[in-house]
């Protein structure tokens, strides 16, 4: 099973690129973030025409996640548990049946948290604590689980072209990185780092200051694997070339192949 994640940065603006990529990459399940669309306006027809089932958790103008899949999920849950007052559309879990049982796949868009001297940063940290609590609860099921999405966290200095340039950013604060590390310490595997320990491995290049041609990137899009999923990891990669397409997202797709 090929599972991919991609912060599309506006699905309507990027629908042509999305369809081209779906044909080229041929993933079985796709987790999208920042669809920036309410559910009823999501351009599902073009995607369904390619053979994908579409589940969305949208929000007008910003946020929003989706899961596209060749198979219809058995269950879908929208919203990260732990705060009934949180109205941001940032989280959706789908459960798929396989020959070997089930696999749980989450599409998540973790809060950015900037500026750090505003309530946005505590909200980010609180959201991460809720995510870790959810993940710990799901681990007790002892099922393959993939947490896929834009985590808005640069895990280590090697995941950034210039740590000094990001020192004051919420994505690289010690609190953000420590929360990410606590997720790893629960038993989750960072799929890309499980197969590739090189420097210069990025998933995001800003639109400003010539970041893409200079390769001034960061790695903030992750597929985190539970032990049961990590045991089935065949390969993982980043489809960097998509950033060079016309009207690109500032993120690129990241994928894993699991023997499921």
- Residues in contact with 238: Cβ distance below 8 Å, sequence separation at least 6, in sequence order: 192, 201, 202, 203, 252, 253, 254, 255
Select which of 150, 159, 169, 190 is catalytic. 150
Judge contact between 36 and 62, C-beta under 8 A. Answer: yes
Select which of 28, 57, 109, 221 is catalytic. 109
Domain of residue 10, CATH code = 3.60.10.10
* Residues placed in the known binding site: 7, 34, 150, 152, 250-251
pLDDT in tens, 115-166: 999 999 999 999 999 999 999 999 999 999 999 999 999 999 999 999 999 9
**Does 179 have pLDDT greater than 90?**
yes
> What's the pLDDT score for residue 243?
98
Is 150 assigned a catalytic role?
yes
Q: Which long-range contacts (CB under 8 A, 24 or more apart) does 134-140 make?
A: 134/80, 134/81, 134/82, 135/183, 135/186, 135/188, 136/186, 138/104, 138/226, 139/186, 139/187, 139/226, 139/227
Is 197 assigned a catalytic role?
no
Range of the domain at 39: 2-258
* Residues placed in the known binding site for Mg(2+): 7, 34, 150, 152, 250-251
- The tokens for 229 are 């999923």
Number of domain units in the chain: 1
Mean predicted confidence (pLDDT) in 163-177: 98
Is 161 assigned a catalytic role?
no
**Does 99 have pLDDT greater than 90?**
no
pTM: 0.97
pLDDT in tens, 226-245: 999 999 999 999 999 999 99
């Amino acid at each position: 099973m090929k599972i991919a994640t991609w912060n599309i940065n506006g699905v309507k603006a990027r629908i042509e690129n999305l369809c081209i990529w779906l044909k080229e990459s041929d993933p079985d399940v796709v987790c999208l973030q920042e669809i920036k669309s309410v559910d009823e306006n999501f351009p599902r027809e073009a995607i369904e025409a390619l053979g994908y089932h579409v589940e969305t958790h949208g929000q007008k103008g910003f946020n929003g996640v989706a899961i596209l899949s060749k198979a219809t999920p058995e269950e879908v849950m929208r919203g990260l548990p732990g705060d009934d007052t949180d109205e941001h559309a940032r989280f959706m879990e789908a459960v798929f049946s396989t020959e070997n049982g089930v696999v749980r796949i989450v599409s998540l868009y973790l809060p950015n948290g900037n500026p750090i001297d505003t309530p946005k940063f505590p909200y980010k940290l609180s959201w991460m604590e809720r995510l870790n609590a959810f993940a710990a609860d799901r681990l007790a099921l002892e099922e393959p689980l993939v947490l896929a999405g834009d985590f808005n966290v640069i895990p280590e200095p090697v995941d950034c072209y210039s740590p000094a340039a990001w020192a004051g950013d919420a994505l690289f604060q010690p609190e953000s990185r420590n929360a990410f590390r606590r997720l790893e310490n629960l038993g989750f595997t960072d799929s890309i780092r499980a197969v590739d320990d090189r420097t210069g491995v990025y998933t995001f290049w800003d639109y400003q200051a010539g970041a893409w041609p200079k390769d001034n990137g960061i790695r903030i899009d992750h597929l985190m694997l539970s032990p049961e999923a990590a045991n089935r990891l065949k390969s993982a990669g980043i489809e960097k070339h998509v950033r060079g397409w016309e009207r690109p997202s500032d993120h690129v797709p990241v994928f894993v192949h699991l023997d499921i």
